[in-house]
Structure 1
Amino acid sequence: MSAAADRKQATIQREADVAATREAVVRGLSAHNEARVGPRKAEPLALSLRDENGAMVGGLIGELKWQWLYVDLFWIDEAHRGAGHGEALLAMAEQAARDYGARGVYLGTMSIQAPGFYPRMGYRECGRMEDYPVAGQTFHHFMKAL
Protein backbone atom coordinates (compact mmCIF):
# COMPACT_ATOMS: atom_id res chain seq x y z
CA MET A 1 0.00 0.00 0.00
CA SER A 2 1.36 3.47 -0.85
CA ALA A 3 2.00 6.20 1.70
CA ALA A 4 -0.75 8.27 0.09
CA ALA A 5 -3.23 5.43 0.57
CA ASP A 6 -2.31 5.22 4.26
CA ARG A 7 -3.25 8.84 4.89
CA LYS A 8 -6.57 9.62 6.49
CA GLN A 9 -9.04 11.84 4.70
CA ALA A 10 -9.39 15.39 6.01
CA THR A 11 -10.93 18.72 5.05
CA ILE A 12 -9.58 22.22 5.34
CA GLN A 13 -11.86 25.00 6.51
CA ARG A 14 -11.75 28.51 7.91
CA GLU A 15 -12.64 28.59 11.62
CA ALA A 16 -14.77 31.21 13.34
CA ASP A 17 -13.57 30.24 16.83
CA VAL A 18 -9.99 31.49 16.63
CA ALA A 19 -9.27 30.90 20.33
CA ALA A 20 -10.29 27.22 20.23
CA THR A 21 -8.42 26.68 16.98
CA ARG A 22 -5.31 28.35 18.37
CA GLU A 23 -5.50 26.20 21.50
CA ALA A 24 -5.72 23.00 19.45
CA VAL A 25 -2.84 24.06 17.18
CA VAL A 26 -0.64 25.06 20.14
CA ARG A 27 -1.40 21.77 21.90
CA GLY A 28 -0.52 19.70 18.81
CA LEU A 29 2.58 21.72 17.93
CA SER A 30 3.76 21.69 21.55
CA ALA A 31 3.45 17.89 21.73
CA HIS A 32 5.38 17.54 18.47
CA ASN A 33 8.15 19.92 19.60
CA GLU A 34 8.43 18.49 23.11
CA ALA A 35 8.91 14.99 21.74
CA ARG A 36 11.91 16.25 19.79
CA VAL A 37 13.57 18.96 21.91
CA GLY A 38 12.10 18.60 25.38
CA PRO A 39 9.61 20.67 27.34
CA ARG A 40 9.22 24.33 26.44
CA LYS A 41 9.09 25.48 30.09
CA ALA A 42 8.06 28.97 28.96
CA GLU A 43 8.30 31.87 31.36
CA PRO A 44 7.07 35.36 30.50
CA LEU A 45 9.40 38.32 30.95
CA ALA A 46 8.12 41.87 31.43
CA LEU A 47 10.41 44.84 32.14
CA SER A 48 9.36 48.46 32.39
CA LEU A 49 10.95 51.89 32.25
CA ARG A 50 9.12 54.44 34.40
CA ASP A 51 9.54 58.17 34.72
CA GLU A 52 9.80 60.15 37.97
CA ASN A 53 5.98 60.08 38.31
CA GLY A 54 5.77 56.32 37.86
CA ALA A 55 4.31 56.51 34.34
CA MET A 56 5.50 53.79 31.99
CA VAL A 57 7.70 55.31 29.28
CA GLY A 58 9.20 52.12 27.92
CA GLY A 59 9.30 48.39 28.29
CA LEU A 60 10.28 44.99 27.02
CA ILE A 61 8.04 41.94 26.74
CA GLY A 62 9.57 38.57 26.06
CA GLU A 63 9.37 34.87 26.67
CA LEU A 64 12.03 32.56 28.05
CA LYS A 65 11.61 29.16 26.42
CA TRP A 66 13.83 26.17 25.88
CA GLN A 67 17.30 27.72 25.94
CA TRP A 68 16.43 31.12 24.47
CA LEU A 69 14.86 34.48 25.21
CA TYR A 70 12.48 35.73 22.55
CA VAL A 71 12.00 39.51 22.70
CA ASP A 72 8.49 40.10 21.38
CA LEU A 73 7.99 43.81 22.11
CA PHE A 74 10.50 46.54 22.97
CA TRP A 75 9.66 50.24 23.15
CA ILE A 76 11.12 53.46 24.56
CA ASP A 77 9.11 56.69 24.43
CA GLU A 78 10.64 59.26 22.07
CA ALA A 79 11.33 61.70 24.94
CA HIS A 80 13.43 59.08 26.76
CA ARG A 81 15.51 57.79 23.83
CA GLY A 82 19.23 58.42 23.63
CA ALA A 83 19.76 58.31 27.40
CA GLY A 84 20.90 54.67 27.62
CA HIS A 85 17.54 53.29 28.74
CA GLY A 86 17.26 50.90 25.79
CA GLU A 87 20.71 49.49 26.49
CA ALA A 88 19.84 49.09 30.18
CA LEU A 89 16.51 47.35 29.48
CA LEU A 90 18.10 44.98 26.98
CA ALA A 91 20.99 44.24 29.36
CA MET A 92 18.48 43.45 32.12
CA ALA A 93 16.60 41.11 29.77
CA GLU A 94 19.85 39.40 28.78
CA GLN A 95 20.74 38.90 32.44
CA ALA A 96 17.32 37.38 33.09
CA ALA A 97 17.99 35.05 30.15
CA ARG A 98 21.37 34.04 31.59
CA ASP A 99 19.78 33.43 34.99
CA TYR A 100 17.20 31.21 33.26
CA GLY A 101 20.02 29.27 31.58
CA ALA A 102 19.41 30.59 28.07
CA ARG A 103 22.03 30.27 25.36
CA GLY A 104 20.88 33.30 23.39
CA VAL A 105 18.34 35.98 22.52
CA TYR A 106 16.39 36.46 19.31
CA LEU A 107 14.05 39.18 18.08
CA GLY A 108 12.75 41.03 15.07
CA THR A 109 12.50 44.73 14.28
CA MET A 110 11.31 46.76 11.32
CA SER A 111 13.45 49.23 9.37
CA ILE A 112 11.19 52.02 10.74
CA GLN A 113 12.11 50.98 14.28
CA ALA A 114 15.66 50.29 15.49
CA PRO A 115 17.66 47.93 13.26
CA GLY A 116 20.84 49.93 13.88
CA PHE A 117 20.56 49.59 17.66
CA TYR A 118 20.99 45.83 17.91
CA PRO A 119 24.40 45.43 16.20
CA ARG A 120 25.77 48.02 18.65
CA MET A 121 24.53 45.73 21.43
CA GLY A 122 26.34 42.68 20.01
CA TYR A 123 23.48 41.23 17.96
CA ARG A 124 23.96 39.91 14.46
CA GLU A 125 21.39 40.00 11.73
CA CYS A 126 20.37 36.46 10.85
CA GLY A 127 17.65 37.16 8.32
CA ARG A 128 15.53 39.79 6.68
CA MET A 129 12.23 40.06 4.91
CA GLU A 130 12.02 42.74 2.25
CA ASP A 131 8.85 44.79 1.65
CA TYR A 132 7.48 44.18 5.14
CA PRO A 133 5.34 45.62 6.63
CA VAL A 134 4.85 47.58 3.38
CA ALA A 135 6.76 47.97 0.11
CA GLY A 136 10.10 49.67 0.67
CA GLN A 137 10.45 48.58 4.30
CA THR A 138 12.36 45.63 5.76
CA PHE A 139 11.85 43.33 8.74
CA HIS A 140 15.18 42.37 10.33
CA HIS A 141 15.80 39.25 12.43
CA PHE A 142 18.56 39.45 15.04
CA MET A 143 20.17 37.03 17.48
CA LYS A 144 22.86 37.12 20.11
CA ALA A 145 24.64 34.24 21.81
CA LEU A 146 24.96 34.69 25.56
Structure 2
Amino acid sequence: MEIKISHIEDRQTEEYIIQRLWQHNNRFADVNMKSLNVFLYDDEQRIQGGLLAHTWFGTLDINYLWIDEAYRQHGSGRQLMLAAEEEARGRGCHMAVVDTLSFQARGFYEKLGYRVYGEKDDYAQRFARYYLAKRL
Protein backbone atom coordinates (compact mmCIF):
# COMPACT_ATOMS: atom_id res chain seq x y z
CA MET A 1 0.00 0.00 0.00
CA GLU A 2 1.01 3.57 -0.60
CA ILE A 3 -0.41 6.82 0.78
CA LYS A 4 -0.12 9.96 -1.33
CA ILE A 5 -0.87 13.53 -0.35
CA SER A 6 -1.80 15.95 -3.11
CA HIS A 7 -2.65 19.63 -3.36
CA ILE A 8 -3.90 19.22 -6.94
CA GLU A 9 -7.64 18.92 -7.51
CA ASP A 10 -8.48 15.61 -9.17
CA ARG A 11 -12.21 15.58 -9.97
CA GLN A 12 -12.18 12.01 -11.27
CA THR A 13 -10.61 10.58 -8.12
CA GLU A 14 -12.74 12.76 -5.85
CA GLU A 15 -15.90 11.63 -7.64
CA TYR A 16 -14.83 7.98 -7.34
CA ILE A 17 -14.39 8.32 -3.56
CA ILE A 18 -17.70 10.15 -3.16
CA GLN A 19 -19.57 7.55 -5.23
CA ARG A 20 -18.06 4.68 -3.24
CA LEU A 21 -19.08 6.33 0.03
CA TRP A 22 -22.66 6.77 -1.20
CA GLN A 23 -22.78 3.16 -2.38
CA HIS A 24 -21.89 2.15 1.15
CA ASN A 25 -24.41 4.55 2.73
CA ASN A 26 -27.23 3.40 0.43
CA ARG A 27 -26.90 -0.10 1.87
CA PHE A 28 -28.36 1.29 5.10
CA ALA A 29 -30.78 3.99 3.94
CA ASP A 30 -31.90 5.72 0.76
CA VAL A 31 -29.55 8.70 0.70
CA ASN A 32 -31.17 10.34 -2.36
CA MET A 33 -28.63 13.19 -2.43
CA LYS A 34 -29.48 16.05 -4.78
CA SER A 35 -27.97 19.47 -5.29
CA LEU A 36 -30.13 22.42 -4.31
CA ASN A 37 -28.73 25.76 -5.46
CA VAL A 38 -30.49 29.12 -5.36
CA PHE A 39 -29.03 32.17 -7.12
CA LEU A 40 -29.62 35.92 -6.96
CA TYR A 41 -29.24 37.94 -10.18
CA ASP A 42 -29.43 41.69 -10.71
CA ASP A 43 -31.36 43.36 -13.55
CA GLU A 44 -28.45 42.79 -15.93
CA GLN A 45 -28.40 39.08 -15.06
CA ARG A 46 -25.12 39.32 -13.15
CA ILE A 47 -24.88 37.00 -10.18
CA GLN A 48 -25.07 38.87 -6.88
CA GLY A 49 -25.47 35.97 -4.48
CA GLY A 50 -26.11 32.33 -4.07
CA LEU A 51 -26.86 29.45 -1.77
CA LEU A 52 -25.26 26.06 -2.46
CA ALA A 53 -26.70 23.06 -0.68
CA HIS A 54 -27.72 19.43 -0.92
CA THR A 55 -30.74 17.55 0.26
CA TRP A 56 -30.19 14.07 1.64
CA PHE A 57 -31.48 11.84 4.46
CA GLY A 58 -34.45 14.23 4.75
CA THR A 59 -32.15 17.17 5.46
CA LEU A 60 -31.34 20.44 3.72
CA ASP A 61 -27.58 20.67 4.20
CA ILE A 62 -26.46 24.24 3.44
CA ASN A 63 -22.82 24.42 2.41
CA TYR A 64 -22.38 28.02 1.23
CA LEU A 65 -24.33 31.27 1.31
CA TRP A 66 -22.90 34.46 -0.15
CA ILE A 67 -24.51 37.80 -0.96
CA ASP A 68 -22.69 40.71 -2.59
CA GLU A 69 -22.13 43.59 -0.18
CA ALA A 70 -24.49 45.85 -2.20
CA TYR A 71 -27.37 43.39 -1.73
CA ARG A 72 -26.93 42.70 1.99
CA GLN A 73 -29.32 44.14 4.56
CA HIS A 74 -32.17 44.18 2.01
CA GLY A 75 -33.61 40.72 2.65
CA SER A 76 -31.79 38.97 -0.21
CA GLY A 77 -30.16 36.36 2.03
CA ARG A 78 -33.48 35.70 3.74
CA GLN A 79 -35.17 35.23 0.36
CA LEU A 80 -32.53 32.71 -0.74
CA MET A 81 -32.86 30.79 2.53
CA LEU A 82 -36.66 30.70 2.39
CA ALA A 83 -36.61 29.56 -1.25
CA ALA A 84 -34.17 26.76 -0.38
CA GLU A 85 -36.25 25.70 2.63
CA GLU A 86 -39.44 25.63 0.55
CA GLU A 87 -37.79 23.49 -2.13
CA ALA A 88 -36.37 21.21 0.58
CA ARG A 89 -39.83 20.70 2.08
CA GLY A 90 -41.07 19.77 -1.38
CA ARG A 91 -38.33 17.15 -1.48
CA GLY A 92 -39.54 15.71 1.81
CA CYS A 93 -36.96 17.29 4.10
CA HIS A 94 -37.84 17.69 7.78
CA MET A 95 -34.83 19.76 8.87
CA ALA A 96 -32.08 22.09 7.69
CA VAL A 97 -28.50 22.38 8.96
CA VAL A 98 -25.76 24.96 8.45
CA ASP A 99 -22.52 25.98 10.11
CA THR A 100 -20.97 29.41 10.43
CA LEU A 101 -17.96 31.08 12.01
CA SER A 102 -18.16 33.72 14.74
CA PHE A 103 -17.37 36.55 12.29
CA GLN A 104 -20.00 35.39 9.80
CA ALA A 105 -23.75 35.02 10.17
CA ARG A 106 -24.87 33.27 13.37
CA GLY A 107 -27.42 36.01 14.16
CA PHE A 108 -28.78 35.91 10.62
CA TYR A 109 -29.52 32.19 10.87
CA GLU A 110 -30.97 32.52 14.37
CA LYS A 111 -33.42 35.19 13.11
CA LEU A 112 -34.62 32.58 10.61
CA GLY A 113 -35.33 30.07 13.37
CA TYR A 114 -32.06 28.13 13.39
CA ARG A 115 -30.73 27.08 16.80
CA VAL A 116 -27.16 26.25 17.79
CA TYR A 117 -26.73 22.56 18.57
CA GLY A 118 -22.94 22.59 18.80
CA GLU A 119 -19.94 24.84 18.77
CA LYS A 120 -16.17 24.57 18.60
CA ASP A 121 -14.02 27.32 20.06
CA ASP A 122 -10.49 28.08 18.90
CA TYR A 123 -11.35 27.35 15.28
CA ALA A 124 -8.42 28.59 13.16
CA GLN A 125 -6.95 29.53 16.57
CA ARG A 126 -9.21 32.59 16.93
CA PHE A 127 -12.84 31.98 15.96
CA ALA A 128 -15.76 29.90 17.11
CA ARG A 129 -17.58 27.62 14.68
CA TYR A 130 -21.31 27.19 15.27
CA TYR A 131 -23.49 24.34 14.04
CA LEU A 132 -27.15 25.26 13.66
CA ALA A 133 -30.33 23.37 12.78
CA LYS A 134 -33.99 24.14 12.12
CA ARG A 135 -37.08 21.95 11.84
CA LEU A 136 -38.81 22.50 8.50
Answer whether TM exceeds 0.5 for this pair. Answer: yes
Q: Relative contact order (C-alpha < 8 Å, sep 6+): which is higher? A: 2
Flag structure 1 segments of 5+ consecutive residues without an equivalent: 1-10
Flag structure 2 segments of 5+ consecutive residues without an equivalent: none
In the alignment, the residues of structure 2 paired with residue 19 and residue 51 of structure 1 have an alpha-carbon distance, to the nearest angstrom, of: 31
- Higher percent of residues as strand: 2
Which residue type is aligned with residue 142 of structure 1?
Answer: L
Which residue in 2 is equivalent to 1:47?
Answer: 38
* Structure number with bigger Rg: 1
Q: Please point out which of 33, 53, 61 is paired with 2:25.
A: 33
Which residue in 2 is equivalent to 1:4?
Answer: none
Give the structure-1-normalised TM-score.
0.81
Q: 1:125 deviation in Å?
A: 0.8
Identity percentage over the alignment?
31
Q: 1:25 deviation in Å?
A: 3.1
In the alignment, the residues of structure 2 paired with residue 21 and residue 59 of structure 1 have an alpha-carbon distance, to the nearest angstrom, of: 27
Q: 1:89 deviation in Å?
A: 0.8
| Alpha carbons 1:15, 1:21 under 8 Å: kept | no
Tell me, yes or no, if structure 1 residue 113 matches structure 2 residue 104: yes
Q: 1:21 deviation in Å?
A: 4.5
Single out whichever of 62-71 and 94-103 deviates more from structure 2: 62-71
Instruction: Summarize the alignment of residues 68-83 of structure 1 with structure 2, pairs less than 5 Å apart.
Output: 68-83=59-74
- Alignment root-mean-square deviation, CA: 1.9
In the alignment, the residues of structure 2 paired with residue 15 and residue 23 of structure 1 have an alpha-carbon distance, to the nearest angstrom, of: 17
